[in-house]
Every structure is written in C-alpha cells, then in structure tokens.
Amino acid sequence: MRRPQKPGRLRQLLTRRAIVLAGMQAGVIGALGWQMRRIAVEQNQSFRLLAEENRVNIRLIPPVRGLVFDRLGKPLAYNEPTYKIEIVREQAGDPEAVLRRLATIVPITDEDIAQALEEMSNRRGFVAVPVIKDLDWEHIAAVSANAPALPGISAELGHYRIYPQADDFAHIMGFVGPVSDYDLSQRDDDDPLLLIPRFQIGKNGIERQIEKPLRGKAGVKRIEVNAIGRVMRVLGREESQAGSNVQLTIDHRLQKFAQERLGENSAAAVVMDVRNGDLLAMASAPSFDPNKFVRGISVADFKDLNENIYKPMLNKAVTGTYPPGSTFKMVTALAALKGGFMKTNEKVRCKGYTELYDRRFHCWRRGGHGNMDLHNSLKQSCDVYYYEVAQKVGIENISAMAKELGLGVPHSLELPAVREGLAPTKAWKKARKGEDWVIGDTLNASIGQGFVLSSPMQLAVMAARLGSGTKISPRLVNAIDNRPQPVRGREPLDIEPEHIKAVQKAMFAVVNERGGTAGGSAIRKKGWEMAGKTGTSQVRFITKEERARGVIRNEDLPWERRDHALFVAYAPADNPRFSISVVVEHGGGGSKAAAPIARDIMREALELGADNGYRALPTDVRAGKPILGDKA
C-alpha cells in the first residue's frame, strides 16, 4: 500500500516542474527570437534578393551577327531587321490557350503552335521561345494592343541573314541555321546563346569556321513582371556586343566571272595571287542559293540538291580531290633534277609504252613521241619519259617534292573539310592497304595517277610556287575588324633556281610554242602570256582488249566514266602575278575542257589586276545592312 505524500513535499515537486517548464518555454522563445533576429538582420539581404527573383526575370539579348565583305568592301553577308513574337512558358499560365488567342491576331498555323509547344517543353520555364518571325508593324501593334489577354507574349526585334551574292559565294560563305542537338554535341562551347531556341549559328563555310568572332556576345535585360507574368517595366539593360566584321581576300568580280565561266560543268576553279597567297576566286559548280537555308529550305529543294549527281553542295575547290594527271609531271621532273637522276638535256626514247615485267604502261600517244628531253616531255606531255625517270627517282623523292610544292599537305583555311590530298609513300601503303609498295605504283604516281590525289586549291598553290619560287601559302581572310591576317610562306623553295627555270621554260612552251598541248588556249597579248600544264586523269581501267581494238573516246562513254580534265598555270609568264587551276569532272581532255576556261578566267584576272588591292573597311561599319555595297 502506497503511502500518501506530505503537503510540503508535494509543493516542492510542483515548484520544480514549473521551473523546468518555464525554462523550456523561455528557451523556445529565445531560440525563436534569435532565429527571427537572424532572418531580419543577418539574412535580410539574401531574402530580399530571393523576393526580387520572384518578380524580376533576366533575359539574354542576342547579338547582331558580324558582317562579311570581299577584298573591295562588297557585302557578302549582312543582317536584315525583322519583328518576331516570343512566349515565356512560366508567364503564360496556359501556353496553348494563349497561342490560340494569338492566332486570331497574327497569321500563325497549327504547325507553328505545335512547334512552339514542343520547344517550350524542352526548355526551362523562363526561356523565351520564338513563335513566328518576319511580321510587319501592323501585326506587332495589334499584339501590343491585346497584351492584357496575352500573358507571356512579347514582340522583339530580330535579324535574319542575307547573302546578296547568293550562288556566287555559296561554297565560301556557307550559311547559318538554328542550333540543333547535333550541333551542341559537336561543339565544346558553353555559350548560353546556344540554348536560345532557334538561335542561328554558322553551319558551313566561313560562317561555321569563324563562328565565334562572327557571333558576338550576349547582352542582358532585367524585367519586372506581375503576379500573372505580364511585363511591367524594364529595370536594366546591358547591350549585346555585335560580332566582328570579316573581310575576305576574294574579289567578287573575279569570283562571279569564274562561277559563270564554269557554266553547267561539274567543276572548280581557283585563282591565287602568287605574291602573298591571297585567294582571289574559288569557284565550285554547280552552286546553290544559301538564302534558302536561312529560313528553312523546303524538302523538295533539299532533295534536288542532295540527289544531284553533280553534287552542288560540295565545295569542289577544297574538298574535292582528284588524280592530278599530267599536271603532276613537274613534280617528278624536279625530283629527278634535285636528286641528280636526270639532266635537262638527257633523252628518253618513247615508243608508246614502257614494259615492266609482263605489264605495259602506255603513253597517251599510241605510236609514241620518239626521243624526249625534259623540255619536250612537258611540252608534249609524254608519259613514257616519266615512267623511265620514276624508276630512277623512287616514290620517296617524288612524294617529298610534291609536299615541297604544296601537294599532299594540309593548308590552313577558314573553311570546313579542307582536304590535304595524298602524296603516297611506301609506309603509307603498308599502313593503309597492308601491302608492299611495287614499282608499278611508282610509275603510276609519276604521271599523277594511282594513289596520288590533289584538290584544285592545292594545284593552284603548286602553280604559284612554281611561278614565284617561294613556299607561298593560300590565304582566305584579309582582316578581322580591320586587323590584317598574316602572309605565310615567302621563303624560297628548297629547289635550285636553275631547275625551277628549266621547268618554267617548259611550261611556257606548253601554252605558247607550236606543238604544246595547250597551244589553243594561249593569251595572245604581249606581256600577258601564260605558262601552264594540261592534265587528263583516267577514272576507269582500260583493258588490253580495248587497247587492241581502239580506246573508246570520252564522248562515247557515260559521263561518270569519262576522264577528268585539268589545267594549271601562272601569268604573266615573265613576272608572275596570278596562278590558276581548273578541274572539270569527267570533262575529257585537259587541253579541250579545262585550258580554255582557265585562259578566260586568267585574262579576266589580268584585266582586273590594276584594281585588285585590299581596301580597309570604315571603322564605323557595324552590324546591319552595310553602306558601301553598291560602291565597290
């Protein structure tokens, strides 16, 4: 049985519990007070900023893309202003309902609405997504008047790219287009501009290779919105920085002439200034209109371009590689002279073929040329001379000379997919083919066949080096924001001057002496004479049976089985200023198809030569449509 507690003891227990409870209550109140003080005093700034973020949005201001000009200041790419409508998902409430209301005011389709909704679902809620572009002022005014009923909708001023020279510069300029997931996966670029829906970047050509300088830098706009997301006022604005202006070495007049002269051929032509490496023309045919890609090319138009057997989307001047044919013979000749394997006056008898073991390597002239020295072997393009010389010289020396003249090596240009061609060696074949090099490979290489490959741009470099005696390298960009880009390769070639002179004299004979393979394409003006070399590269195998009954003429073959036609030259022969290369795919003989085109383009270059200097841009020419377009 529990004994009852005394009244005094009970009072002591109650008093103690009251004190504990009171202490606990005081502790809780103290902790709350301390937390309130910390929030009100110490964290005041942080919570104030959070409150600001709830009513202030920050938006990027896309920069205006930099302009591109030719060497004379002719605009090649500029920006046309346009109005566009954007929507911000987190401000719109019900985006689809808002877009449906918008459709009653401006001409947007169900496809436009579906695309905008899809892009909003893939972006953060505060990112502005374009709905429609290229609106006139009346539509913008109507949207502004109905702003209370269109939460999240805003009208913005944008720009779209214009290429005024269209087809003439398509392969050089390239074009811009919206950033795709593929683009993001291929770029090591954390620029937040790339996350703006439908923001346009360079997709090809100069636009792609000089993307960052042309793009510029984003600006920032801080705007205040109310509870339903309507913009109340602009709190601050930091303007974007327009992209850099780029000036090319290309002369728009010569480029246009070259493009037109190539006509309907599948072909390329490159003109280069031998003094400084400036590329004055770089035509590739057929071409296309890059403006179609800026606003979205139709499926039908893209299919036509993609399925065209002449490959209009391919920049044949730098990406196309071809067996150089007889234009390569100067390489073999100089390799022989440099190594002491052949003297200029030493003769080889051509009976129409060289026999090696059980195989015959044929000359293009079935009955042969008779006795040939270096001069006449180039003038008449005798193959047997080079078959015999190559057996002494060897592929390693031939390959080294090709690289000295700019073939089979990379050249740094502000263009995508610039191919380096191929000057093969024994090690290359072993590594690539898993086979040993044989002497027959050397004979084929000696006349620019077999594994040897060169681009038209490289052939123009070779002609420039032969004409100038220097290691001059090609240059496509004159200046960026009026800052001149360097000239490379003015040091002398590692070739004896007398050897270069012997080859130069023979190239002059090719065009200007009786019996030369390009005699029909000479420039008949004193002081303008060309020195050059024709080339015909075989693309099919000719059997013994066909040779016995007579080789089928190119004209009687399907287009894709005809020989490629080539020609390289420089002029004036006595004081070289320009070099040129022309390649006509499946054009047949170089003397008939390529040389006449090269003559006409070279003559135009010489006509324009007095006015072919670099003109710096005015320092106040910035983004937008330039002012000097019609004056250049």
How far, in Å, CA of 88 to CA of 229, rounded? 9
Q: Is the distance from CB of 160 to CB of 130 less than 8 angstroms?
A: no
pTM above threshold 0.85: no
User: Strand pairing of 200-202 and 176-178?
Assistant: antiparallel
Give all strands of the β-sheet with 531-537 in edge-to-edge order: 279-285, 267-273, 578-584, 564-571, 531-537
Length of the chain: 632
User: Average pLDDT, stretch 158-186?
Assistant: 89
What confidence score (pLDDT) does residue 628 get?
Answer: 43
How far, in Å, CA of 553 to CA of 518, rounded? 20
Q: Tell whether 273 and 393 lie within a shared domain.
A: yes
Q: 118 or 55: which carries more pLDDT confidence?
A: 118
What confidence score (pLDDT) does residue 249 get?
Answer: 96
Beta carbons within 8 Å of 46's beta carbon, 6+ residues apart: none
User: Average pLDDT, stretch 361-366?
Assistant: 92
Q: 58 or 498: which carries more pLDDT confidence?
A: 498
Secondary structure of residue 589 in the 3-state scheme? coil
Q: Is the pLDDT of residue 53 over 50?
A: no
What confidence score (pLDDT) does residue 16 get?
Answer: 67
Q: Tell whether 262 and 177 lie within a shared domain.
A: no
Q: Tell whether 392 and 527 lie within a shared domain.
A: yes
- Backbone dihedral region for residue 553 (phi beyond 0: left; psi -120 to 50: alpha; all else: beta): beta
Q: Tell whether 216 and 343 lie within a shared domain.
A: no
Query: Hey, what's the torsion of the CAs at 16, 21, 25, 28, to 10 degrees?
Result: 100
Q: Is the distance from CB of 570 to CB of 580 less than 8 angstroms?
A: yes
Q: Examine the fold and report which residue of 196, 217, 248 is the final residue of a domain before the chain moves on.
A: 248
Range name among 3-7, 264-268, 444-448 with the lowest pLDDT average: 3-7
Q: Is the pLDDT of residue 225 over 90?
A: no
Q: Tell whether 398 and 513 lie within a shared domain.
A: yes
What confidence score (pLDDT) does residue 537 get?
Answer: 92
User: Average pLDDT, stretch 564-568?
Assistant: 97
Q: Tell whether 280 and 209 lie within a shared domain.
A: no
What confidence score (pLDDT) does residue 623 get?
Answer: 44
User: Average pLDDT, stretch 477-503?
Assistant: 94
User: Average pLDDT, stretch 73-91?
Assistant: 88
Q: What is the 3-state secondary structure (H, E, C) of 330-395?
A: HHHHHHHHHHCCCCCCCCEEECCEEEECCEEEECCCCCCCEEECHHHHHHCCCHHHHHHHHHHHCH
What confidence score (pLDDT) does residue 167 get?
Answer: 96
Q: Tell whether 197 and 285 lie within a shared domain.
A: no
- DSSP assignment, residue 241? B
How far, in Å, CA of 588 to CA of 283, rounded? 20
What confidence score (pLDDT) does residue 48 get?
Answer: 52
345 C-beta neighbours (distance < 10 Å), count: 9
Q: Which two tokens stand for residue 113?
A: 């609405």
Q: Which residue has the tokens 């009072």?
A: 11
What confidence score (pLDDT) does residue 595 get?
Answer: 98
Phi, psi of 238 (to 5 degrees): -115, 115
User: Average pLDDT, stretch 154-174?
Assistant: 91
How far, in Å, CA of 277 to CA of 471, rounded? 10
Q: 627 or 608: which carries more pLDDT confidence?
A: 608
What confidence score (pLDDT) does residue 613 get?
Answer: 55
Quote the percentage of the chain above a pLDDT of 70.
87
> Is residue 123 classed exposed, middle or buried when 0-12, 13-18 and 19+ CB atoms within 10 A define those classes?
middle
Question: Which of 41-50, 116-125, 401-410 is predicted most confidently?
Answer: 401-410
Q: Is the pLDDT of residue 50 over 50?
A: no
Tell me if 301 is assigned to some domain. Answer: no
CATH of the domain at 73: 3.90.1310.10
pLDDT in tens, 519-548: 999 999 999 999 999 999 988 777 777 777
H/E stretch holding 398: helix 395-404
User: Average pLDDT, stretch 14-39?
Assistant: 68
Q: Tell whether 265 and 353 lie within a shared domain.
A: yes
CA-based max dimension of the chain: 145
pLDDT in tens, 545-555: 777 777 888 88
Q: Which two tokens stand for residue 458?
A: 């490289």
283 C-beta neighbours (distance < 10 Å), count: 31
Secondary structure of residue 217 in the 3-state scheme? strand
pLDDT class of 594 with cuts at 50, 70, 90: very high
What confidence score (pLDDT) does residue 116 get?
Answer: 86
Q: Tell whether 401 and 474 lie within a shared domain.
A: yes
How far, in Å, CA of 353 to CA of 548, rounded? 14
Tell me if 2 is assigned to some domain. Answer: no
Q: 404 or 146: which carries more pLDDT confidence?
A: 404
Tell me if 24 is assigned to some domain. Answer: no
Q: 586 or 145: which carries more pLDDT confidence?
A: 586
User: Average pLDDT, stretch 202-212?
Assistant: 95
Tell me if 424 is assigned to some domain. Answer: yes
User: Average pLDDT, stretch 238-258?
Assistant: 94
What confidence score (pLDDT) does residue 36 get?
Answer: 67
- DSSP assignment, residue 40? I
Q: Which two tokens stand for residue 153?
A: 């909708």
What confidence score (pLDDT) does residue 625 get?
Answer: 47
Q: Examine the fold and report which residue of 217, 248, 279 is the final residue of a domain before the chain moves on.
A: 248
Q: Is the pLDDT of residue 610 over 70?
A: no
CATH of the domain at 446: 3.40.710.10
User: Average pLDDT, stretch 427-441?
Assistant: 96
How far, in Å, CA of 228 to CA of 232, rounded? 11
Tell me if 371 is assigned to some domain. Answer: yes
> Is residue 28 classed exposed, middle or buried when 0-12, 13-18 and 19+ CB atoms within 10 A define those classes?
exposed
Q: Is the pLDDT of residue 624 over 50?
A: no
User: Average pLDDT, stretch 574-580?
Assistant: 96
User: Average pLDDT, stretch 557-585?
Assistant: 95
Tell me if 12 is assigned to some domain. Answer: no
Tell me if 259 is assigned to some domain. Answer: yes
Q: Which two tokens stand for residue 225?
A: 């919105």
Q: Tell whether 518 and 582 lie within a shared domain.
A: yes
Closest CA to 330 of 463, 517, 493: 463
User: Average pLDDT, stretch 146-156?
Assistant: 83
Strands (E), 246-303: 246-248, 267-273, 279-285
Secondary structure of residue 553 in the 3-state scheme? coil
User: Average pLDDT, stretch 608-621?
Assistant: 59
pLDDT class of 399 with cuts at 50, 70, 90: very high
Q: Tell whether 133 and 237 lie within a shared domain.
A: yes
What confidence score (pLDDT) does residue 17 get?
Answer: 66
What confidence score (pLDDT) does residue 380 get?
Answer: 97
Q: Is the distance from CB of 281 to CB of 273 less than 8 angstroms?
A: no
What confidence score (pLDDT) does residue 373 get?
Answer: 97
Q: Tell whether 271 and 417 lie within a shared domain.
A: yes
Q: Is the distance from CB of 493 to CB of 406 less than 8 angstroms?
A: no
The total number of structural domains that make up the chain: 2
Structural domain harbouring 578: 252-290+315-479+487-611
Closest CA to 201 of 227, 174, 165, 230: 174
What's the mean pLDDT when you consider all of the chain? Answer: 87
Q: Is the pLDDT of residue 51 over 70?
A: no
Q: 32 or 462: which carries more pLDDT confidence?
A: 462
